[in-house]
Amino acid sequence: MSEDPTNKRSIIAFTQYFEGEQKFDYFITSVAGVLCAFIAERYEPIPFGPNAETVELIAILFLILSFFFGLKRIEWLVVARQLNAKYLDHIEKSNFLGNVPPIMEPRYQLDIETGNQICSDPKKRAERHRKKATALRKKTTYVKNKAKSAYSKRSCYLMLGLFFLLLAKVVEAYAS
C-alpha cells in the first residue's frame, strides 16, 4: 500500500508554515526588545511635560508592552502545541482501542504510572480517551485564543511604540 503524496505535501506545507510563524514571532519580539533597549539606553529623563523626552518615555513603555506580549504569545503557543500533542495521543489511542478485535483484548492491564488496574474493556477505555481528547481540545482552543490576543496586543503596542518614537523626533525638531 503506497502513501498518499498529498498527505506528505500537506505535512511539509504545515511544517514550513509553523517554522515561518515561529521565526516571525521571534523576530518581531526581538525587534521590540532591541528598540526598547536602544531608546532606553540613550534616554535622559527630564520632568514630564510637552517635550520629546516624555513622548520617548511613552514610546519605551509601549515597546516594553509589545515585548512582553510577544513573549506571552510565544509561551502560549508552546503550551498549545503541548496540549495538541496530548490531544492527538488520546485520539490515536481512542481510535486504536475502538478497533481492537475481541481476540486481542487483554484480560487485565496495569497503568504503568500508578500501578492501578485499568478497565479491560477496550471500548470503555476508548471512550475515556475520547472524553480526555474533548477536554484537551477545549483547553487548546482557550490557549490559542490567548495567543491570538497576545498577537494583537503585541502588534498594536509595537505600532504605537513606533508612532510615539517618530512623534518624539518631530516634537524634538520643532522644540529646538
3-state secondary structure 102-150: HHHCCCCEECCCCCCEECCCHHHHHHHHHHHHHHHHHHHHHHHHHHHHH
Structural domain boundaries, residue 113:
5-175
- Rounded to the nearest 5 degrees, what angle is found at the Cα of 156, between the Cα atoms of 60 and 17? 115
At 57-69, the pLDDT tens digits run: 999 999 999 999 9
pTM of the model: 0.73
> What's the total number of domains in the chain?
1
**What is the reported pLDDT for 52?**
83
The ranges of the chain with pLDDT < 70 are 1-7, 97-113, 115, 117-122, 176
How confident is the model at residue 145, as a pLDDT?
94
pLDDT, tens digit, 9 for 90 and up, residues 19-30:
888 899 999 999
